[in-house]
Amino acid sequence: MSLDLGADVVSLTESVVNIESVSQNEKALADDVEEALGAVAHLEVTRIGHSIVARTDLGRAERVVIAGHLDTVPLNHNLPARNDGTRLHGLGSCDMKGGVAVALRLAHDLATPNRDITYVFYEAEEIDDAYNGLGIVARQRPDLVRGDFAILMEPSDAVVEAGCQGTLRVEVTTRGERAHSARSWRGVNAIHGAAEILRRLNEYDARKPVIDGLEYHEGLNAVLISGGVATNVLPDECVVTVNFRFAPDRSEAEALVFVKEFFDGYEVVVTDSASGALPGLGVPAAKAFVDAVGGTVNPKFGWTDVARFTGLGIPAVNYGPGDPMLAHKQEEFVPLDQLRSCEATLRTWLGAES
Amino acid sequence: MSLDLGADVVSLTESVVNIESVSQNEKALADDVEEALGAVAHLEVTRIGHSIVARTDLGRAERVVIAGHLDTVPLNHNLPARNDGTRLHGLGSCDMKGGVAVALRLAHDLATPNRDITYVFYEAEEIDDAYNGLGIVARQRPDLVRGDFAILMEPSDAVVEAGCQGTLRVEVTTRGERAHSARSWRGVNAIHGAAEILRRLNEYDARKPVIDGLEYHEGLNAVLISGGVATNVLPDECVVTVNFRFAPDRSEAEALVFVKEFFDGYEVVVTDSASGALPGLGVPAAKAFVDAVGGTVNPKFGWTDVARFTGLGIPAVNYGPGDPMLAHKQEEFVPLDQLRSCEATLRTWLGAES
């Protein structure tokens, strides 16, 4: 067995990081997670695609869902993992294999928690929503993800982050007319036409609304650009892929209206959209968890599956080891003490002897 | 045999157009050209790569090189050829399979021309200079392309076009710093950084110098753009590939100085460079040809292998059927009467009975 769930959380995180699992390449890690959880007597394990669900069934009054995605953004010369004594470095260490390792430790050790627990380890969170493993499980087996409260172990510096921003992706396209580049005045250069799109993006002024006392921070960015036919042909098309991260006081529809107005005069085609989630800290289960882990709450900037849980009617927060600011950065790492404190805090909240 | 060199020039052009030969896919056409010329008793045929050289050896006082490239720019839904009665439409019809067909007709019919003739049908003119078949032949077998004068049958509306503009290709790169697109203020967006590059390109004012009475027309264009890592990651690099077409009164070195100053503040890396050629109409052989075909001369905007011949010490002009403004455009075509007039004019100049 390549994953030893009985090992300490730092070793386990290192093992999980070293099983490369860039989105759509999660099979190897999912196989290992399935095998390791399958050997734990107090769990009932189900696999759907490369997502693994493991549940206790003790008839407790309350059921909590603890979830984490198995995939990472693309490699960037940042594997294998490196432990410098205080931090574990490497692709996915922060987003979010540290959280996955904490959840795997709890799944292994907690045979009789004070709440029933559903652990969900899922594929394809970092790519198009259509592939999202939690979404697939929720559609195919909604019974498997039911619960009274959900903790998504996304990096949050071991502090509760509430709500999440929505995300909208669009392609903004310019058109031109091909011509030989030696006689460019006979055509129309579509790449040059993208100058105005980029100019507007540079002038974008981010909105920072305060909701339930938490300050969100929107963002509008070109994430991809492509255009051109051949090196001696005037290009007739240029596509700028733009990602809008919007605060949870806007709906998806309102976000799209904003983006369409922003790029007025250009073709705008939606390629991905997911709603945000309001903090929802008034819900009793959320409040109880916040109190249990110390009371501090920050806003969540990134879109997370907290929004999906909210959509399913399950109150949810983000809580996990790792600085969210380091997510998707080459130099991401997770502090070893956060791995340990997250594990300890959750153990206590779930009624285990520490 | 798939190419009938005894057919009329319109039929032959249609046959040549219908053998698709996008750059680096010239093998099929080169095979057919080699086979057809190999069957002509008065020619000595040599093949180097996918370039074919065919020569008469009559001991004439003067040797003329008649050259044309076999490749085309990429397909753009413009094959097979279509003859509407006055024009032949289709990929390569203008640039430059019409000229190739005229040369093939002459090669087949002219057993005893008044000048020795070297026909060169070569690969890979539309891509990086390193692949150019005429360049490869000239380096490997310089004896094969020696001559007193060269006619390059690039489209010139059946009028002599003298000189040619140079071409320089550079990659202009912006750098940034990756971050999660939900926390974009933590990174630097390299695609947004390209706005200034495109702004400068839009403000570029083309120079139009008059040289030997001919007005040239420079051009500076983005031909490719690419940037981005993933749809939720702030991009750390954006590359704009720029093509500068420069009048023949600038050297390659001067052209590069101009481009580097134009993109001052950015990384500029040269990926392709070829000098232009001054009109050189003072050379007797050029003057004699111009007189023979009617006296009109236009400037050549596009880079052609006239510059390579000039570099080899062989005076050269462009002269071929087809409107040069249509080269590399989806709707390119060649007028049937220009195919016929180019063939007839060259037959007469080469001393054949018409």
Judged by CB atoms closer than 8 Å, whether chains meet at A224 and B231 is answered as: yes
Q: What is the pLDDT of residue B247?
A: 96
- Give the mean pLDDT of B136-154: 96
Cβ-Cβ contacts under 8 Å, A194 against chain B: 198, 225
Cβ-Cβ contacts under 8 Å, B245 against chain A: 181-182, 184
Q: How far is CA A251 from the centre of its chain?
A: 19
- Give the mean pLDDT of A107-120: 97
Is a pLDDT exceeding 80 seen at residue A2? no
Is a pLDDT exceeding 90 seen at residue A8? yes
Is a pLDDT exceeding 80 seen at residue B283? no
Which one has a higher pLDDT value, A317 or B286?
A: A317
Cβ-Cβ contacts under 8 Å, A227 against chain B: 222, 224-225
Place of tokens 């050269």: B316
Is a pLDDT exceeding 60 seen at residue B225? yes
Question: B140 to chain A nearest CA, in Å?
Answer: 26
Pairing between β-strand A87-89 and β-strand A116-122 as defined by DSSP bridges: unpaired
Question: B299 to chain A nearest CA, in Å?
Answer: 12
Judged by CB atoms closer than 8 Å, whether chains meet at A230 and B180 is answered as: no
- Give the mean pLDDT of A297-310: 91
Judged by CB atoms closer than 8 Å, whether chains meet at B228 and A206 is answered as: no
Active site residues of B: 71, 125
Q: What is the pLDDT of residue B56?
A: 98
- Give the mean pLDDT of A278-295: 82
Q: What is the pLDDT of residue B139?
A: 97
What average pLDDT does the structure give for chain B?
95
Is a pLDDT exceeding 70 seen at residue A127? yes
Is a pLDDT exceeding 70 seen at residue B299? yes
Judged by CB atoms closer than 8 Å, whether chains meet at A229 and B74 is answered as: yes
Q: Cβ(A33)–Cβ(A104) under 8 Å?
A: yes
Mean pLDDT is lowest, of A61-65, A215-219, B284-288, B295-299, for B284-288
- A145 — pLDDT class (breaks 50, 70, 90): very high
Separation CA B90–CA B82 (nearest Å): 6
Q: What is the pLDDT of residue B38?
A: 97
Separation CA B314–CA B311 (nearest Å): 7
Q: Considering only alpha carbons, which residue of chain B is nearest residue A272?
A: B231
Q: What is the pLDDT of residue B128?
A: 85
Q: What is the pLDDT of residue B270?
A: 98
Q: What is the pLDDT of residue A309?
A: 94
Q: Rounded to 5 degrees, what angle do the CA atoms B203, B208, B213 make? A: 175
Q: What is the pLDDT of residue A281?
A: 82
Judged by CB atoms closer than 8 Å, whether chains meet at A191 and B225 is answered as: yes
Place of tokens 């007005």: B215
Q: What is the pLDDT of residue B285?
A: 73
Is a pLDDT exceeding 70 seen at residue B353? no
Separation CA B305–CA A146 (nearest Å): 71
What average pLDDT does the structure give for chain A?
95
Q: What is the pLDDT of residue B292?
A: 84
Judged by CB atoms closer than 8 Å, whether chains meet at B194 and A234 is answered as: no
From B232, B165, B263, B191, select the one nearest A191 (Cα to Cα). Answer: B191
Q: What is the pLDDT of residue A328?
A: 86
Place of tokens 């697939």: A136
Amino acid at A324: P
Separation CA B292–CA B152 (nearest Å): 16
Question: B274 to chain A nearest CA, in Å?
Answer: 13
Is a pLDDT exceeding 90 seen at residue B69? yes
Q: Using CB atoms, which residue from B167, B191, B223 is nearest to A228? A: B223
Active site residues of A: 71, 125
Which one has a higher pLDDT value, B286 or B139?
A: B139
Question: A57 to chain B nearest CA, in Å?
Answer: 37
Mutate which: B132, B168, B173, B183, vs A, most A CBs within 10 A: B183
- A15 — pLDDT class (breaks 50, 70, 90): very high
Backbone angles phi, psi at A211, to 5 degrees: -130, 125
Q: What is the pLDDT of residue B288?
A: 80
- Give the mean pLDDT of A167-186: 94
Judged by CB atoms closer than 8 Å, whether chains meet at A234 and B217 is answered as: no
The size of the A-B interface in CB pairs under 8 A is 222
Mean pLDDT is lowest, of B113-117, B210-214, B215-219, B246-250, for B210-214
Q: Is A261 exposed, middle or buried (0-12, 13-18, 19+ CB in 10 A)?
A: exposed
From B323, B346, B342, B293, select the one nearest B87 (Cα to Cα). Answer: B323
Mutate which: B203, B224, B269, B306, vs A, most A CBs within 10 A: B224
Judged by CB atoms closer than 8 Å, whether chains meet at B223 and A240 is answered as: no
pLDDT in tens, A55-89: 999 999 999 999 999 999 999 999 999 999 999 99
Cβ-Cβ contacts under 8 Å, A245 against chain B: 181-182, 184
Is a pLDDT exceeding 90 seen at residue B68? yes
- B65 — pLDDT class (breaks 50, 70, 90): very high
Is a pLDDT exceeding 70 seen at residue B1? no
pLDDT in tens, B4-22: 999 999 999 999 999 999 9
Q: What is the pLDDT of residue A129?
A: 85
Q: What is the pLDDT of residue A199?
A: 98
Q: What is the pLDDT of residue B281?
A: 82
Judged by CB atoms closer than 8 Å, whether chains meet at B241 and A230 is answered as: no
Backbone angles phi, psi at B45, to 5 degrees: -110, 135
Considering chain B, what percentage of its residues have pLDDT values greater than 90? 86
